[in-house]
Each structure stands twice: as C-alpha cells, then as structure tokens.
A = this chain, B = another copy of it.
Amino acid sequence: MDSEEKLLQFAPFSSCLDPGFWYQLTQRKVNIYKLDDSPVSISGFYSNGEAPGLPVLANIDYTAFDGNRKAPAHQFTLMGTLYNTNILDEFKQKDKQKLILDFGKQIWSDIKSGKALKKPSSTLSLFLAVTFADLKRYVFYYWFAYPALIHPEKVVLLSPPLSLQNCFTADQIIQLQCTYDLLEDPEDRSYFLVHINEAQSITVRPLREYLDLKNEPGKLIVGFADPCTLKENPGWPLRNLLALVSYHWGKDRSEWEVLCFRDRVKDGKRSSSHSLLLQVKLCGTMIPNDAPLCVGWEKNEKQKLGPRHVDLSSSMNPKRLAESAVELNLRLMRWRLVPSLDLEKITSTKCLLLGAGTLGCNVGRCLLSWGVKHITFVDNARVSFSNPVRQSLFTFESCLDGGELKAEAAANGLRRIFPGIVTQGINLSIPMPGHPVNGKLIEQIKQDVEQLEDLVETHDVVFLLMDTRESRWLPTVLGALKQKIVFSVALGFDTFLVLRHGMKSKDSNSGVKPMSLDGAVPGDQLGCYFCNDVVAPGNSTRDRTLDQQCTVTRPGVSMVASALAVELLVSLLQHPRGPLAEAETSSWDQNLTVESESPLGIIPHQIRGFLSRFHHILPASIAFNQCTACSHSVLDMYKREGYDFLLKVFNEPNYLEDLTGLKKLHEETNSAEVWVLSDNESM
C-alpha cells in the first residue's frame, strides 16, 4: 500500500497585488511611517467562489491598511504583517527563514492554546510581506509568504476526491448552504465542522463545538472555505486546519473526511455542488515539542523562491504620478530634517504675483517647487525676444507673432511643468499715481481697480514684482487694507531688496510705537515698500533711457532675490505668529535679538543683497506714520471715498503728499538731506 499511497497536495496562494495597495503604501510611508520600519498590520482576502481555472488568489488591494475592513460575502480575510524596509539591501538581507518560522510558532501556539478553535480565521489564515518601495521610480520590490505548518507530517489521500454533487443530494447541499449562512461569526466561516445526522440531515457548526458534536450520532466532517478551483486539490488554507485537527482531535481518529467548500454564484444562481469531498489519513501525527516547521514563501514568475518587483511608473496616471512625486519630495523634508514642517500651510496658500517678468517667473517657479497649488499672474506686457533667457517660464515660441501675453504665458509655463497647478494669467494694467485718468479712461480704470481689489481679496499673499515704483502703490494700499501678506522684490544691477510689508492691525487707531532700540520689530509695526520714502510715487517711466527701461541686472540677481523671497514667505508661514512674527535684524548667533521660532529659521523684515560682495544685510524698519501708501490717513481716505480718492491720487501730483502731511515735512526739512529710495538707484 505504501508504494501506491497518494499524498494530498495543496494549491498555494498566488498574491494578487492591486496598484491601489502600492499607492496606499506610498502614502503611508511618506506621511506616517517615514523612517519607522516596524512591522505593520495589513489584511488581504480570498474567495471560495472564483471561476474555474483561476489560481488560488490572495488579494491585496487599497483596503489592505484599513483596520476596520470587513470581508464581504464569500470573501475571507487573510491577516497580514508588512515588513517595509527603508533600503533595498535590508529587503534583500531580511532573514526570511527565521521570519516564517516565527509565524509558524505563533500559529502553533494559537492552536495549542485553543485560540484557533475560537478564532480560526485570524489565527490560521495569515500572510506576511517583505517589501521595499522605491518611491522615486515607483518600483516596488516584494516577497509574500502564506505560512503553513508542516503537520501532520503527511496527509494521505485515501480515495480520489469526489465532487459534492456525487455524494450529497441536492437537498443536502441546500442544507449545507443554509446552515453555513447561519454562522454568525465570520471567523467560523473560514473553517468549520459539518455534521450529518442519522437522518442524513446536514448542519454546519463552528469548530469550537467539536466536543459536543463528536458524541452525537451521525458523521462529523471538517470543512473550510476553499479558494482552489482544481478538481483534485484543496487550497492552501486546509494545511493549518489539518494541523489543528491533528493536534486537537488526532487522538480520536486519524482518518477524516474534509469538505472543500466552494460556493459560487453563476448566472444568478448559487452553486456549491462543485465542492470537493476528500478522504484523508493524517499520518505521523505525533505532537512535536517545538512548533512544527513552517513553509509558504511564494515563488516568483520564474517559479523559483525569490522576490518580485513591479514598475508602476508607466501604468499610473501620469498627472497623478507627477502630483504624488512632487508631494513626496516635499514630505521627505519632514522625515529627518524638519519634522514640525506644516506643508499644508504652504501648499494651500494662494499667491498673487503682480508682474510676470524675470521676478514673476522665478518666484512662480520657486512657489511651485514648494508645492503651492494656487498661483495667479498679473501683467500687461507681451513676451519679447530678450525675455526667455531670463524670464524662466517663457520659451522662444512665446515671442513669435508679436509675443504672447506675459501673464497667460507664465500660467501656461507653470501648467507645462506641473499639470496639477491651479493657475491663471490676467492681462491687467495696474493704475498708478502720476498717470492721469480722465475722459473715457475713468470708467475703464475703475474696472481695473475693481478687478485688482477682487484679486487681492481672493489671495492670501501678494508679491509686488514690478519694475516701477509707482505701480507698487495701489497693491500696497490694497494689501494693507485687506490685511494680506505682501512681499516686495526689487532689483538693482547687482543688488536686490526683498521686503515683507508690515501687517496692518485691524484697529486703525492703534498708534505706532517708536522702534525699539534692540532692533526687534513686531510684524504689525513693520514698514511697507514706501515707508522709507518721503516723496509720493509719480510717473517714473518718462524720460528713461534704454538702460533704465530694461531692468539691467546681473542675471543671477533675480534668481537669488526670487528664491529668497519665497523662502522668506515659507519661513513666515511656518512661524506660529505668521506675518505678525517679529523681524530679526541679525543673521548670526552672537547678535540674535529675536528668538527664532520658525522651524525654518529667522524671519527678517528686509533682505538687502549685494552680489559684488556675496553679502546680505537684514535691516528692519518701522512703519512711517506719514507713509504715502500704508499710513492710516491714506487707508482711511480710501475706505471713505473709494475710487474718487484714487482719481485724486492719479490725477493730482501733490495730493498724496498733502494728505499725509509729507508736504509739510518737506517744507520743514527743505534744506536737510533726505535719503530717497528709488527703484533706479542701487540699493
């Protein structure tokens, strides 16, 4: 008989990994686990209703990380443990033999303790996964195991497997289905007992009722939900069930009938008649001292024991891929370097860029690099041939046929880089003091003013990136009125100024305190771009020679100034007091006057850079109470008179100086030397 003895063979699980699983893993690795490579609980599932011909699938999908996931009908949970390594070498070097043996010990222990009788699914249906996610390339390395105890030593098939329809009546099969459905605990639906009483009537019962049932008249069969579709073989889950049977009930008898319960709905009709009934003998059921050996590492596509990998870079939606890749790069900062970084504060900030020239393009690019999702450009010029080499969102194509509108071309440039950006280019001339408005223009400029007001209102940050002083006036006033964060950037030939405007307090009556001598100025008392000036802005574009019309600068100046402006904004956004943060005036430790509270460093009021010396200074200046842009007399008049006030500013050269009292100041200091900050002078 030994020579003809036929051993039962089990069809192993094949991992069926949905890309959603890898997407979830990526998200969690980046956002939650970071460098933590502790094992993580996940889950998969299998079905006993698969169509004929399919392998024994272990499905792992986007729900794998959902701890509360319930297996749907006809699906059975596999409890998994994920070992995601930080580096590929760790993945390779992980001791897989030891790992699966440890799982074997756990299963054996649960069998011995009786826990497996009460919770058979979560103790017997297990898997483990070792993975390495190359998140830069979207390549995932993985090796899955479905631990199965080698116990009993061998399982002999006493007769050829029978299809259920050949040994059960149709009534019996219906009884089987109905009483199976009555099992309340999903744990019991994976592994169960089938009792056939003397009247040949069928009942399905939980494993834990064995002791009650074994003494009842009739026949007792062990059953399990079988994911296999082969006619001769049961699926993998039977292995641990037989270990349990052998351990607990092997002393009662060694020959068992096993129901491989297959339960399919086909053409709207439930069928279980293709289930198998096996006659097996459990041999060598001597109970070992140690846990039995455990096997189950999956073979790879070459049918060898080894890992697999999947390259998802091409199959994922490229726009989605780009978005998650960009997000990844940013989130990486939090892993080691700045754990307290609040990226959401940065990426959700809506930025309005006034000017889409060399500064506008570079600021836009740097904001995009920081993940800012909402960027609006305003400009009124067209792209000319000299622009693209310095204005980094334009190409040669943008100059043809008279040139694209700069604002639109800049927005299109951002979209070409990152389709997920929300961006818009608005062709608008910013009304300016000293540029008279009359006749037909009155109505048109009114609309321009209203559009600009709306734009400032609907954004969080306004960047003033224009090349004339007077075009900065109206946005400075609007930013102050609406309490927006306002940044000015201005370039000289080899110098630059980056300045955050002071945030006006809501209470227009709050007086401005004199600047403290230790140099630290609170954010709501800082000056604006015009606070250092003692003349009102006027028409500066008249009488400029070509080298004054073009902003003639060393090309690096704009790159440096734009980058520093964005970095200063980002540091500001991370500061607990945001724009109210005090201004730091010294760049180095020994003189640090303000406690640096932003996780990214200090937040000065101004950065003045000198490229010829590779040097920065960080002055802070207090708001000037006769400022022609941000003083309360200006803001109050605007609130009171609106556009009528603006018309006076545009049309009457001395109006602002009269209003703010600057004229009086001039008379008083007539012969005194005053320092005038001008866009055209080196700063």
Q: Which residues from chain A sit less than 8 Å from chain B, CB to CB? A: 35, 86-87, 89, 134-137, 313-314, 318-319, 321-322, 324-326, 328-329, 332-333, 335-338, 362, 365-366, 368-370, 384-386, 388-390, 392, 394-397, 399-402, 416-419, 493-494, 542-547, 549-550, 552, 554-557, 559-560, 562-564, 566-568, 570-571, 587-588, 596, 600-602, 604, 607, 610-616, 618
Contacts and interface: CB of A to CB of B under 8 A. Distances in A.
A384 B552 contact: no
A314 B402 contact: yes
12 contacts: A86-B546, A318-B400, A329-B386, A337-B552, A369-B389, A395-B416, A555-B567, A556-B567, A560-B560, A601-B611, A602-B612, A615-B616
Given A322-B385, A325-B384, A365-B392, A136 B549 contact: yes
Given A564-B614, A613-B601, A389 B556 contact: no
A328 B136 CA distance: 42
Contacts of A35: 545, 547
B399 A416 contact: no
Nearest to A556: B563
Given A329-B550, A554-B600, A556-B567, A396 B614 contact: no
Contacts of A397: 416
Contacts of A87: 543-545
Nearest to A401: B314
Given A390-B329, A587-B615, A89 B542 contact: yes
Nearest to A566: B556
Contacts of A137: 384
B386 A325 contact: yes
Given A556-B563, A587-B615, A388 B314 contact: no
A557 B545 CA distance: 35
Contacts of A365: 389, 392, 559
Nearest to A548: B336
Pairs of residues from A and B, 10 with the lowest C-beta to C-beta distance, nearest first: A601-B612, A369-B555, A556-B563, A325-B386, A325-B385, A559-B563, A587-B615, A556-B567, A322-B385, A86-B545
A333 B560 contact: no
A382 to B, nearest CB: 9
Given A611-B601, A612-B600, A614-B618, A418 B388 contact: yes
B384 A396 contact: no
Nearest to A571: B612
B402 A390 contact: no
A274 to B, nearest CB: 45
A546 B390 CA distance: 33
A83 to B, nearest CB: 15
Nearest to A397: B416
Contacts of A369: 389-390, 555-556
A389 B555 CA distance: 21
Nearest to A415: B396
Which of A313, A400, A556 has the most chain B CB atoms closer than 10 A to its own CB?
A556
A564 B610 CA distance: 11
Contacts of A602: 612-614
Contacts of A418: 388-389, 396
A205 B610 CA distance: 71
Instruction: Determine which residue in A324, A390, A559 has the highest number of CB atoms from chain B within 10 A of its CB, and name it.
Output: A559
A342 to B, nearest CB: 15
Nearest to A682: B337
Nearest to A395: B416
A328 B386 contact: yes
A607 B601 CA distance: 19
Most B CB contacts (10 A, CB to CB) among A325, A543, A570, A571 go to A325
A602 B612 CA distance: 6
Given A318-B385, A556-B567, 4 more contacts: A366-B559, A389-B418, A567-B611, A601-B613
Contacts of A567: 554-556, 611
Nearest to A492: B337
Interface-centre pick from A89, A137, A566, A570 (highest chain B CB count, 10 A): A137
A75 B370 CA distance: 66
B613 A396 contact: no
Contacts of A610: 587
Contacts of A326: 385-386, 389
A552 B332 contact: yes
Contact of A329 (B335, B338, B552): B552
Contacts of A388: 322, 417-418
B555 A564 contact: no
Given A417-B388, A559-B560, A494 B400 contact: no
Contacts of A615: 587-588, 616
Nearest to A358: B369
A321 B399 CA distance: 10
Contacts of A611: 564, 567, 601
Given A386-B325, A556-B563, A615-B587, A396 B416 contact: yes
